[in-house]
Each structure stands twice: as C-alpha cells, then as structure tokens.
C-alpha cells in the first residue's frame, strides 16, 4: 500500500528551493521541520508552528541534535497566525493535520483554525510554490476537516493554482493529501 508519509515528500520536494522560505504548519515531533531544514539549505529558512509547548520543546531538542544548519525558527502559536511571523513568500509548506503522535489525542487540529490557516498559507505562496496538506479521516474531526478543505480547495482558480488530491479510493479512512501548486 502507498506510504503517505514518503509519497507526500516526493510530491513536495521539487518545490523546496535552496535559499527559499519553507513552513511546517504542524510541527509535532519535528519530522517535517527537520526534512525541510535539510532540503532548504544553509541560506534558506524554515518556520515551524505548534500550539503545544511540549511539541516545540521536543522539536527544539531534535533539531539541535540533528539539523545540519541553524536555519529554522520554532514558534509556539497557532498556524492561522503564520502571516504575523513569516514575511517572505513561501516556496513549500506542509500541514500534517490531526494530533501529536504519542501525545494527547484530544489536542488535534480543528476546522475553525485549519481552514483560515490553509487559506493564509495559500496566500503566502511564492510563484511556483506549493502547499501539501495531509488529512487523517480515520477520526471524526479529521473526516470533517477533509470535507471542509475539499469544498474550499475545489473553488481555487485554475488560472492561479493547480490543486490535486492523492487518495486511496477503496480505503476511505486512510490518510490522504492535497497538493496545491501556485502557477507562475
Ligand atoms: C499530526 S501532528 C504533526 C506531525 C509532525 N508534522 C511531525 O513530523 O511529527 C499535528 C500537530 O498539529 C498541532 N496543532 C494542532 N492545532 C494546531 C494549530 N492551531 N496550530 C499549529 N499546530 C497545531 C498538534 O499539536 C500536533 O502536534
């Protein structure tokens, strides 16, 4: 079966431009923050957001030990406020929605902040930049987030964006992702 965590990176990788600005909108344990830091290079910068101090602390430790460059800023705040912190156009952004693996499952991303956060993230994209959003419909809030995002994303102008979805159609509870690419 398709491994979502690996496949999503294959789709986003060509957009992570050395020297660019990338954003991890859901830092969690820092896997995506670390990957972006490695790919964006010493002249690029990664901003990462999480509302849980525990996630920020865990990621800070991990980055200190494993990140090849000091090219990241970890922010303990909600991703819908990203534009207050990131002032340069974004070449690559990633949302892994849901709850912190191994953490408190009741602290999950929620529709009321996820929708404005994704809308903000889209507005921050550089020409040819891309946003990847992984949705986890196996829990109720994740299923509803997916439905809401599908509605919004399908209204994006094809003149400005190419919006795709990769989903295992015979296993509707499996995670899936959207890739939103900004045209030139
Ligand atoms: C599935 S985890 C992310 C996994 C992470 N990308 C990794 O590599 O480990 C989702 C994370 O989103 C965080 N989160 C929930 N609501 C948020 C919000 N409004 N803004 C930023 N992060 C949020 C949760 O605290 C959780 O750590």
Q: Is the pLDDT of residue 105 over 90?
A: no
Query: H or E element: which one contains 181?
Result: strand 176-182
Is the pTM above the cut of 0.95?
A: yes
Contact between 77 and 53 under an 8 Å Cβ cutoff? The reply is no
Question: What number of other Cβ atoms are within 10 A of residue 123's Cβ?
Answer: 12
Q: Is the CB of 115 under 6 A from ligand 1?
A: no
Q: What is the mean pLDDT of the chain?
A: 96
**CATH number, domain containing residue 141:** 3.40.50.150
- Total length of the chain: 184
> Could you give the percent of the chain with pLDDT greater than 90?
91
**Which pLDDT score is estimated for 2?**
79
Q: Tell me if 93 sits within 8 A of 49, measured CB to CB.
A: no
CA 145–ligand 1 middle distance (angstroms): 14
What's the confidence (pLDDT) of residue 104? 85
Ligand 1 site-directed mutation target among 76, 100, 102, most atoms within 8 Å of CB:
100
Rounded distance from Cα 20 to ligand 1 centre (Å):
23
Q: Whose CA is nearest to atom 23 of ligand 1?
A: 50
Nearest CA to ligand 1 atom 17: 109
| Chain centroid to CA 46 | 12
Cα distance between residue 36 and residue 24, in whole Å: 8
Q: What is the mean pLDDT of residues 146-155?
A: 98
Least confident of 4-8, 84-88, 124-128: 4-8
What is the C-alpha radius of gyration for the chain, rounded to an integer number of angstroms? 15
Range of the domain at 33: 4-182
The answer on pLDDT for 4 being more than 90 is no
* 1, pLDDT greater than 80: no
State mean pLDDT over 5-33: 96
Count: domains in the chain: 1
Q: Distance from the CA of 107 to the center of ligand 1, in angstroms?
A: 9
């Amino acid at each position: 079966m398709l491994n979502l965590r690996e496949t999503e990176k294959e789709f986003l990788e060509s957009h992570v431009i050395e020297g660019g600005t990338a954003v991890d909108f859901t830092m969690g344990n820092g896997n995506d923050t670390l990957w972006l830091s490695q790919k964006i290079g010493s002249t690029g910068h990664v901003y990462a957001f999480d509302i849980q101090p525990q996630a920020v602390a865990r990621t800070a430790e991990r980055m200190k030990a494993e990140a090849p460059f000091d090219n990241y800023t970890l922010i303990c705040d909600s991703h819908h406020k990203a534009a207050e912190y990131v002032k340069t156009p974004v070449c690559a952004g990633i949302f892994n929605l849901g709850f912190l693996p191994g953490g408190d499952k009741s602290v999950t991303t929620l529709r009321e902040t996820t929708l404005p956060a994704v809308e903000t993230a889209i507005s921050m994209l550089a020409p040819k930049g891309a946003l990847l959003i992984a949705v986890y419909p196996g829990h109720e809030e994740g299923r509803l987030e997916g439905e809401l995002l599908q509605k919004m994303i399908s209204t994006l102008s094809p003149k400005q964006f190419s919006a795709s979805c990769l989903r295992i159609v015979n296993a509707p509870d499996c995670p899936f992702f959207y890739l939103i690419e900004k045209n030139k």
